[in-house]
Every structure is written in structure tokens, then in C-alpha cells.
């Protein structure tokens, strides 16, 4: 029994030693299959210039490789890493890969530098590259042939519009917003001042408001100063607003032909059809065809406007056409409108109201 126990124990020891030897050989063989090579473009470099630094790794594709990070962007003390280039990976035969990392290095201190082996992590193992040396050369300056200058003082930077573009735009925006606010409050103030007058006009009959506006247009004598387009535009607007309020039609959005067709088909308004036709058609020619009307055309248009309003107004007592023409001719002959005091504004409006 003792011999049997010793035999079993010896078998276990042999197996353990065999496993240890096999694992050691495998690890050694696997470790030796990873190689790391460091290279530099030139072993000498002028001070302040740049040179290429390369790390090449050859090993199994199944391993994960970690490149050095170079803390502080320094390869070693005195040699700085300027840029980190792209990393090239190439597949090779037998399941191996080749990794090449490129760097740019420089130095601002002359002297001879020793670069120790670069450490690479492959899986859980660490591998080292070969060591390198670099000599940084300085420039020899002959002070007898070259004049030395002192360090320049602080200089003002050049004026660049792009540096001041944003502040200028902000100032312009603030000014624009200020002007817009001033215009808005001014309009509101003017609207508030005119609200009483507008409320009063809204309560007046349509023909009263139309005659008041025609009186105002007549007193300005726009055609005497060549402002024919403005004269006929305002006259057309006065009549369209009157038609809108008097007959409850959307005359402000209708064309001249549509308005005239309404009055032509209505038996009650056929008597004023020609008067309105003369005004609106001539107004279109002046506004859109740039026609220059005669003096008689302007006076006739004004007289027809008065006739149209008076003949279509709602009133119990309506004068004949002949009497209205005589009244309009007398009114047109009076070129100087009478001034009405502000205190007598109510009395002035009473003459337009219905009897």
C-alpha cells in the first residue's frame, strides 16, 4: 500500500511539473511573438524644428494593444509631442497585425537626449521598444557681423472689423428697437387723439361723412400741383367707403367693373350710373395708366362725386337733378373753402344731417 501511495504521489508531481513547464514555454513563445520598434526620422534636429517619431507593433490580432499616452505632451523632459497622427493597422499572414503610430516631436533646448524604451501594453503583458538618442543642434550667430536688437515692446493689435461686428450689430438692434417702440407709442397716441373724432364720424350718416371728406379733398386742390394720382385715389376711396356703408356691399374689395355692374342692374340707381362710371373709370386710368386728366375732367369728377352722394343718400326730401347740378356748380365755383371754428364743429356737421 505504501508503494502504491508513493507511486500515485510521484505521478501527481510529474503532471504538475509538466503543466508548469508547458505554460512557461507557451507564455514565453507567445510573448516573444510581439515586437515593438521605435524609430525617429533623424538623429539630429535643429532647435525649434520638428521631426517624425514612429512606434511600430507586430503581434497577434487577438490581443488588445494600448499605446503610450505621453502625459503633458512630452516624450521625455526637453522633447515635446507636437501632434499625434493617425494610427495605421495592417493585417498580415498567420493572424498577425501591424500597428504604426506617428507623432511629431520638437525641442527648444539644445543638447543630447536619451530616449528610453517605449512601453506598450499587449493584453496583460507589457512590452518595450528599443532605445533612441536625439541631438538637438543650436544656431551659431556671429555677433560681429549681425546686429542685435532689443526685445520689442507691447504693440497694439491691428483694427479688425470682425472683432467689433457683434457689438455694432447689438447697438444697431437696440437703436432699431427704440425707434420701433417710439413709432408704436406715437401711433397709439395719435390713434387715441383721433378716437373721439372717429367715434363721432361713425355715428354720422354715410352721406354726411362722404361730403365732409369730399369738401376736405376739394379744399386741398391736389390737381393744381400735379398730384392727380393722389387726388383720384382719395376720391375713389371716399366713394367706395360710402358705397360700403350705404349699400352694405364689400366695395373696398371689388373691382370697378363689379361695382358698376351692381348699379347698372339696379333700377333705383341707374340715374347715377353714368356719374359713378365717369369717376371710377377715369380714376383707374390715372392710377394705373398714368393718364394726365384735363382741368375740366377734374372739376367734372368732383361735381359727379357730389351728385352721386346726394342722389343716393337716405333722406326724405331729395332735390331734382337740375337743382342738384346748379348747387354743385355753385359749390365748385367757390374754390376757397370757408374755415369753421373748432368750437362750432357740431353746428358745422348739422348742415350735412338729414332734415
Strand residues in the chain grouped as ranges (E): 35-40, 44-46, 50-60, 65-66, 74-76, 79-91, 96-106, 111-115, 119-122, 125-128, 132-137
If asked whether residues 102 and 229 sit together in one domain, one would say no
Q: Are residue 93 and residue 129 in the same domain, yes or no?
A: yes
281-311 pLDDT, tens digit each: 999 999 898 888 888 888 899 999 999 999 8
Residue 271 is predicted with a pLDDT of 77
Is 113 within the bounds of a domain? yes
* Assigned domain for 148 exists: no
- Asked whether residue 21 is assigned to any structural domain, the reply reads no
Verify that 212 and 323 share a domain, yes or no: yes
Are 63 and 119 in the same domain?
yes
Global pTM value: 0.39
Q: Which domain holds residue 131?
A: 32-137
Contact 239, 268 (CB under 8 A): no
Instruction: Return the C-alpha cell found at 265.
Output: 342692374
The confidence score (pLDDT) of residue 215 equals: 92
- Assess if residue 83 is contained within a domain: yes
- Within the chain, which residues score under 50 in pLDDT? 20-21, 24-31, 316-321, 335-355
Together in a domain, 179 and 214: no
CATH number of the domain that residue 70 is part of = 2.60.40.10
| 6 domain residue, yes or no | no
Domain membership of residue 241 (yes or no) is yes
* Rg of the chain, C-alpha, whole Å: 52
Residue 216 and residue 283 share a domain: yes
Q: Domain check: are 188 and 264 in the same one?
A: no
Say what the pLDDT of residue 192 is: 62
Do residue 177 and residue 295 come from a single domain?
A: no
Contacts of 87 (CB under 8 A, 6+ apart): 67, 99, 100, 101, 102
233-284 per-position pLDDT tens digit: 999 999 999 999 888 888 888 998 888 888 888 777 777 888 888 999 999 9
Kindly state whether residue 125 falls inside one of the protein's structural domains.
Answer: yes
**Cell for 128?**
518595450
Residue of 305, 320, 81, 82 whose CA lies nearest to 210: 305
Q: How far is CA 300 from the centre of its chain?
A: 54
Q: Using the 3D structure, point to which of 176, 194, 212 is the last residue of a domain.
A: 194
- Kindly state whether residues 334 and 255 are assigned to the same domain: yes
Number of domains, the chain: 3
Does one domain contain both 222 and 286? yes
If asked whether residues 321 and 185 sit together in one domain, one would say: no
Tell whether 151 is covered by a domain: no
63 and 170 inside one domain: no
Euclidean distance between CA atoms 272 and 260, whole angstroms: 10
Amino acid at each position: 500500500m505504501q508503494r502504491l501511495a508513493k507511486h500515485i504521489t510521484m505521478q501527481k508531481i510529474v503532471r504538475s511539473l509538466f503543466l508548469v513547464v508547458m505554460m512557461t514555454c507557451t507564455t514565453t513563445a507567445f510573448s516573444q511573438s510581439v515586437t515593438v520598434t521605435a524609430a525617429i526620422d533623424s538623429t539630429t534636429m535643429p532647435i525649434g524644428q520638428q521631426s517624425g517619431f514612429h512606434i511600430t507593433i507586430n503581434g497577434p490580432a487577438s490581443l488588445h494593444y494600448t499605446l503610450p499616452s505621453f502625459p503633458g505632451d512630452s516624450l521625455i523632459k526637453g522633447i515635446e509631442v507636437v501632434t499625434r497622427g493617425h494610427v495605421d493597422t495592417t493585417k498580415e499572414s498567420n493572424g498577425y497585425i501591424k500597428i504604426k503610430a506617428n507623432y511629431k516631436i520638437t525641442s527648444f533646448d539644445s543638447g543630447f537626449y536619451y530616449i528610453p524604451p517605449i512601453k506598450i501594453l499587449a493584453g496583460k503583458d507589457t512590452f518595450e521598444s528599443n532605445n533612441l538618442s536625439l541631438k538637438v543642434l543650436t544656431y551659431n550667430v556671429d555677433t560681429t557681423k549681425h546686429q542685435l536688437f532689443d526685445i520689442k515692446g507691447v504693440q497694439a493689435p491691428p483694427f479688425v472689423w470682425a472683432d467689433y461686428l457683434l457689438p455694432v450689430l447689438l447697438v444697431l438692434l437696440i437703436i432699431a428697437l427704440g425707434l420701433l417702440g417710439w413709432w408704436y407709442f406715437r401711433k397709439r397716441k395719435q390713434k387715441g387723439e383721433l378716437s373721439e373724432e372717429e367715434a363721432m364720424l361713425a355715428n354720422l350718416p354715410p352721406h354726411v361723412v362722404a361730403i365732409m371728406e369730399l369738401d376736405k379733398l376739394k379744399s386741398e386742390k391736389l390737381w393744381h400741383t400735379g398730384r392727380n394720382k393722389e387726388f383720384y385715389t382719395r376720391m375713389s376711396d371716399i366713394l367706395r367707403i360710402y358705397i360700403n356703408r350705404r349699400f352694405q356691399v364689400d366695395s373696398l374689395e371689388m373691382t370697378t367693373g363689379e361695382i358698376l355692374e351692381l348699379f347698372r342692374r339696379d333700377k333705383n340707381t341707374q340715374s347715377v350710373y353714368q356719374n359713378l362710371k365717369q369717376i371710377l373709370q377715369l380714376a383707374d386710368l390715372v392710377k394705373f395708366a398714368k393718364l394726365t386728366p384735363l382741368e375740366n375732367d377734374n372739376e367734372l369728377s368732383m361735381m359727379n362725386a357730389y351728385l352721386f352722394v346726394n342722389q343716393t343718400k337716405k333722406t326724405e326730401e331729395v332735390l331734382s337733378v337740375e337743382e342738384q347740378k346748379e348747387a354743385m356748380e355753385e359749390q365748385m365755383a367757390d374754390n376757397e373753402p370757408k374755415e369753421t371754428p373748432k368750437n362750432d364743429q357740431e353746428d358745422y356737421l348739422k348742415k350735412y344731417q338729414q332734415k
